[in-house]
Structure 1
Amino acid sequence: MPVLGIIAALHHEIASLLQAMGPDIKIHNIGQRAYHEGTLMGQPCVIVLSRVGKVAAAATTVTLIREFKVNSILFTGLAGSINNDVKIGDVVVATQLLQYDLNAAPLFPRYQVPLLGKSHFDTDSKLTEQLKSSVQGYLQHDMNNDIHPQVLDTFKLQQPQWHAGIIISGDCFVSNATHASQLQQDLPDALCVEMEGASVAQICHEYEVPFAIARVISDKADGSAHTDFNAFLEQVARHYSAGILKRFLSLN
């Protein structure tokens, strides 16, 4: 049966899933990371905490592919919005990913990965459609049951929406309105910014492994981002990640 690799950058995002795997879980310690091998809803899975940043995520992805022979990969986590239509509590499902801090000009065009000839990496269409359906189902049917009404009110999560589009990645936590505005100006089609997804996308492209990525919007990538991020991670994000992935697994 095909094996699914599930990656998150922070422990809160996978804690509920690890509990759901039950007592038969096998833990493999490789490269200072714990890879949790087991089943979720009958689906063979390997769940791992990549830690933060593009190098960490890339190393984790290679290990999933080479050591565990995963057939597909999902990455869930948080992101900051850099699009006025994308609000806190919304979910962005990636269709393409790009490294905004990659610039080998004048040798290669800005954003292009040298010698690959690509700047934008496409997600797998089938997995992405399944992920869209899972996100939509969670927001419409499960979110209000998972998250306390007071928390929903605090973060103004009354009618969160889902979006599909470009996610950009870089090795910087964007918490400055000027930086966010510059990214929005340079890459006007981008919906949100984070620190891992595009590196996962590049590795999956090179190894020809299908992948999909969803990001929950925790902040507006501005001066309050660090405060919003931590509170949102603890009170909201862990429910989103587990709920969306459980819906995804139920489709298979």
Structure 2
Amino acid sequence: MGQWRWLALGYYLMIWELAVGLSIGALPWKRSYKEIIKQINGKGPYIGLITVYPPEEEAFFSTGSFEPDSDYPFLDLSGRRFRVGKVYDKRVIYVKCGVGLINAAATTQQLLDVFDMKGIIHFGIAGNINNSMSIGDVTIPKEFADTGIWHWLNPNATVDSDYIAGLDVKNYNVPKEGENLLGHIGFKFEQFYSDFGKPNTPQPLVWAQVNQQWLHVASKLQGMELQQCVNSTLCLENKPKLVVGLRGSTSDIFVDNASYRDFLFHTFQVSSSDMESFAVVMTSLSNSFPVIVIRGLSDIAGGQEGTNTIELFGSLAALNTANSVVRFLKELKAFDDSSNNYM
């Protein structure tokens, strides 16, 4: 019985190790993660591509531009699949982070910690906060604010100078008369830690800026052709456009409310709202890596009559975004080849 028990245990361990090997891309199971990462990084450095959820991922791979690495096509870490390959001969590692600030920050930090990276491109869809923009448009903002750091004050409190902005809930009463027990909201600074700052000492931060040279490269995308139709029967009224240099907002809030949409635009002068971009930008900046964000507008964040249009036009916005990312990588390759300067 003892012999059979040891044989069974050995068989179990062999199956388990084989499963581990298969989970990291059908690579030989005897290789450790450390060895595999070393081999992957030996082909680097890479541009990190971070998107959020399945429709954006599907749109990116539908472009046919991603060429998986023949030796190490992907590596699974912490439940996420990091795909290794090339786009226009630019070495990239693509990953889907999941919705929200925590997922975005964790994924970005893991990319920067584990792999040999030289910068991050974050992309996906967003809500449109600016009436001069339209569904289907693509925005490449110059900076982002975290508009989700609130202090919700009691009705008798006031929003003082320590806050970057305030929202008085009673201003939205219908009818207008009377107080509102929800009181006031004060928007606070983000606390920013960085490689170039004093250790253990955060700096106040409102606007996290993307890399200026990459933003200049992105300006070459203005005027590029974007898709206008989801299919043969569903098209946008206006031809979509790509705009570089606006502002974006991020919070763990899906905005589908006309009044809050107006508040964001008039208070922060932002043109888009999403749930991840600020986290990716701030994490990249904290580690001194260049970063840029490309977002396609899928809806007007509550400014519409009727239901939100994300279900109708989300796939179109995601495809326009993916095509813009691919075009940006082409322009970035030309820029890098001519200057060898990534910062």
Pairwise TM-score range, normalised by the shorter structure: 0.7 to 0.9
Distance 1:37 1:20 in 2: 13
Taking structure 1 as the reference length, the TM-score comes to 0.86
Give the CA deviation at 1:207: 0.3
- Indicate the larger mover: 8-17 or 205-214: 8-17
Match of 1:13 in 2: 56
Q: Which amino acid aligns with 1:158?
A: K
Aligned CA distance change for structure 1 residues 194 and 246 (closer, same or farther; 3 Å): same
Q: Which residue of 1 aligns with 2:261?
A: 180
Give the secondary-structure state (helix, strand or coil) at the position aligned to 2:256. Answer: coil
Cα pair distance change 1:226/1:29, threshold 3 Å: farther
Checking the alignment, whether the CA contact within 8 Å between 1:5 and 1:74 is kept in structure 2 is yes
* Aligned-partner SS, 2:224: helix
Alignment root-mean-square deviation, CA? 2.5
Shift of 1:200: 0.8
Residue in 2 that maps onto 1:128: 215
Contact in 2 for aligned 1:10/1:50 (Cα 8 Å): yes
Which residue is equivalent to 2:189?
Answer: 112
Residue 213 (structure 1) aligns with: 293
Unaligned runs of 5+ in 1: none
CA distance in structure 1 between the aligned counterparts of 2:320 and 2:281, rounded to whole angstroms: 22
Contact 1:98 1:111 in 2 (8 A): no
Report % sequence identity.
21
1:143 is the counterpart of 2:220: no
Paired with 2:239 and 2:303, the residues of 1 have a C-alpha distance of 23
Match of 1:193?
273
The number of residues matched between the two structures is: 244
Tell me the alpha carbon deviations over residues 22-64 of structure 1, each in whole angstroms, 9 at most, x when there is no partner.
4536211112211101111211100010111111100110011
| Residues 157, 35 of structure 1: alpha-carbon distance in 2 compared, 3 angstrom cutoff | farther
Q: Secondary structure at the match of 1:117?
A: strand
**Structure 1 residue 132: Cα displacement:** 2.9
Shift, 1:175, TM fit: 0.8
Q: Please state whether the residue corresponding to 2:329 is helix, strand or coil.
A: helix
Give, in whole Å, the separation in 2 of the partners of 1:122 and 1:173: 22
> Bigger CA drift: 60-69 or 110-119?
110-119
Pick which of 10-19 and 76-85 moved more: 10-19
Shift of 1:226: 6.2
**TM alignment of 1:9-158, pairs within 5 A:** 9-18=52-61, 19-22=64-67, 24=70, 26-103=73-150, 109=163, 110-114=187-191, 115-134=202-221, 136-139=222-225, 143=227, 148=231, 150-151=233-234, 154-158=235-239
Shift of 1:3: 1.0
Deviations 1:176-226 (A, max 9, x none): 112212222321x21111110011111011100100011111111006596
| CA distance 1:57–1:108, shift in 2 (3 Å) | farther
**Cα distance, 1:106 vs structure 2:** 7.8
Aligned partners of 1:61 and 1:203 also within 8 Å? yes
Amino acid at match of 1:52: V
Question: Whose RCO is larger (CA < 8 A, sep 6+)?
Answer: 1
Taking the aligned partners of 2:90 and 2:301, their CA distance within structure 1 comes to 35
C-alpha contact 1:103 1:112 (8 A) present in aligned 2: no
Deviation at 1:7, TM superposition (A): 0.7
SS in structure 1 of the partner of residue 312 of structure 2: helix
Tell me the equivalent position of 1:246: 326
CA offsets, 1:116-171, max 9 Å, x none? Answer: 2211111101111222323x2533xx536x865643xx322325352421100000
SS in 2 for 1:132: helix
Deviation at 1:231, TM superposition (A): 2.0
1:61-89 Cα offsets, whole Å, 9 max, x none, are: 00111111211101111111112212112
The residue that corresponds to 2:21 in the other structure is: none
Deviates more, 1:28-37 or 1:7-16: 7-16
TM-score if structure 2 supplies the norm length?
0.65
Give the secondary-structure state (helix, strand or coil) at the position aligned to 1:37: strand
Q: Which moved more, 1:78-87 or 1:192-201?
A: 78-87
Q: Which whole-Å CA distance do the structure 1 matches of 2:290 and 2:91 have between them?
A: 16
- Pair 1:107–1:55, CA change in 2 (3 A): farther
